[in-house]
Amino acid sequence: MKPVSLIQFLIEERRAGHINAELSLLIEVVARACKRIGVATGKGALGGVLGEAGTGNIQGEAQKKLDVISNEILLEANAWGGHLAACASEEMEDPQQIPDGYPKGQHLLLFDPLDGSSNIDVNISVGTIFSVLRCPDGVTEPKAEHFLQPGTTQLAAGYVVYGPATVLVLTFGHGTHEFTLDREVGSFVLSRRNIRIPEQATEFAINMSNQRHWQAPMQRYVGELLAGKTGPRGKDFNMRWVASMVADVHRIVTRGGVFYYPLDAKIEKQGGKLRIMYEANPMAFIVEQAGGAATTGRRRIMEIQPTGLHQRVPVFLGSKEEVELATHYHLEADGAMS
Ligand code: P6P
């Protein structure tokens, strides 16, 4: 069968009325920027881009050189196309306006330019996560509050994982689809259409070193997974933790499973570890469109009304039945406590 390029797929989506010309251009620009990020990360030690940048971001995290480079690549690529009203990034406290003199569009782009960058120096897969919202009508200089829309309002979401292959996974709300970069030609080629995540899981991803800090329902739930055949679940489970959300989520999108970053005593005050606007919401959209589920352990992530551009939430996502069980344990425990 003739391969379908990302460009051809975007034309199909426009003909189907799923996207407009401006959003199509936005995705093309982001995909092209991610190819450049892939080239930069692929240079490793030879590119002089490993290690710390010597700066910190809004999260109070030390920035890697590639965090800054990736952020710049995405900002520069999106500045002049006329498809955006503004950008927001994990690496920047406030939204970045489109420079004066350049045309503006009706979309807001949010991204984590290089998620999992702590893995860069040890050559483990990292990725870019992005989300697209509509700019409210009449807003010409979008501020942070204009980005604070629930995940259900996303027009598009995607990630690019820079692994052995460079793979883009994308949704417009009409299924989740995967594109693999043909490095010889330089174009993303459709490799999986309408992905379905198996509803049952045999693999879970969580940072077990936090185990003693988890809330009781999480202790119960993970304890049952670890008990395997000898416990109430009656089957053994496998565990993975890459510590790059994009890599862990891509495994789940590819073969099922669940990913958890629950509240724990260390991060309870900040509301969680992962950021809702450019990590949890886009990943939730992608996973739900593939038949999975995404909650905070207590409610659907995409229904949350965000209160801050860098707000953090707990993340339970992946195979539907498993996420629903873990969520049920938390709601049951809350009920027992109320
Ligand atoms: P921990 C990477 O820093 C990240 O934001 C996600 O990509 C990843 O899932 C998580 O944090 C890893 O957190 O606490 O295991 O280092």
Q: What is the pLDDT of residues 95-108, one digit of tens each?
A: 999 888 889 999 99
Tell me the β-bridge partners of 315.
261
**Is residue 120 within 6 Å of ligand 1 at its C-beta?**
no
Going by pLDDT thresholds of 50, 70 and 90, the confidence category of residue 165 is very high
What pLDDT score does 321 carry?
A: 98
For the segment 109-137, the average pLDDT, to the nearest whole number, is: 95
Nearest to 25, CA basis, from 89, 102, 81, 103: 81
What pLDDT score does 292 carry?
A: 98
Judged on CB neighbours under 10 Å (0-12, 13-18, 19+), 62 is middle
Segment 26-69, tens digit of pLDDT: 999 999 999 999 999 999 888 777 778 888 777 777 777 899 99
Can you tell me which atom of ligand 1 is nearest the CA of 248?
A: 9
Q: What is the Å distance from ligand 1's center to 245 Cα? A: 6
Within 10 angstroms of residue 284's Cβ, the number of other Cβ atoms is 30
Can you tell me which atom of ligand 1 is nearest the CA of 207?
A: 15
What pLDDT score does 314 carry?
A: 98
Judged on CB neighbours under 10 Å (0-12, 13-18, 19+), 103 is exposed
Range in 44-48, 127-131, 274-278, 324-328 with the lowest mean pLDDT: 44-48
Q: What is the Å distance from ligand 1's center to 285 Cα? A: 19
> Which residue has a Cα nearest atom 10 of ligand 1?
243
Nearest to 250, CA basis, from 88, 101, 83, 124: 124
Residue 310 pLDDT exceeds 90 = yes
- Cβ atoms of residues 107 and 134 within 8 Å: yes
What pLDDT score does 251 carry?
A: 98
What pLDDT score does 100 carry?
A: 82
Q: Domains, the chain, ranges and CATH?
A: 6-192 (3.30.540.10), 203-337 (3.40.190.80)
Range in 55-69, 213-227, 235-249, 257-271 with the lowest mean pLDDT: 55-69
What pLDDT score does 318 carry?
A: 98
**Is residue 67 within 6 Å of ligand 1 at its C-beta?**
no
Residue 86 pLDDT exceeds 90 = yes
What pLDDT score does 51 carry?
A: 77
> Which residue has a Cα nearest atom 14 of ligand 1?
207
**Is residue 314 within 6 Å of ligand 1 at its C-beta?**
no
Structure tokens at 117: 């960058």
**Is residue 244 within 6 Å of ligand 1 at its C-beta?**
yes
Q: Does 266 show up as a binding residue in the annotation?
A: no
**Is residue 245 within 6 Å of ligand 1 at its C-beta?**
yes
pTM of the complete model: 0.96
> Which residue has a Cα nearest atom 2 of ligand 1?
116
Using CA atoms, how far apart are residues 46 and 55, in angstroms rounded to an integer? 22
From the CA atom positions of the chain, what is the Rg in Å? 20
Residue 1 pLDDT exceeds 80 = no
Using CA atoms, how far apart are residues 262 and 315, in angstroms rounded to an integer? 6
